[in-house]
Amino acid sequence: MADRKHDQVLLRTDPRGGEYKNNAHHKRGTSFTVPDVVGVEMKLSVDRLLDGDED
């Protein structure tokens, strides 16, 4: 979830019992790798997610 108000991305994983068990906050200027469960190896930039594609 892109949270522009707090300038961060929230990545929620491990859904069980109607809620997510893991919540990771990623701040602007950093990047993170999507969880293995997605099935692809991909690194995402927080800045790009917050600002959108400028191409």
How much is the pTM? 0.77
pLDDT for 28-50, tens place per residue?
Answer: 999 999 988 888 899 999 999 99
Round to whole Å and give the CA distance between 46 and 51.
Answer: 9
Percent composition of the chain: helix, strand, coil (DSSP 3-state, to 5): 15, 45, 35
Query: Has residue 23 got a pLDDT over 90?
Result: yes
**Rg, C-alpha atoms of the chain:** 12
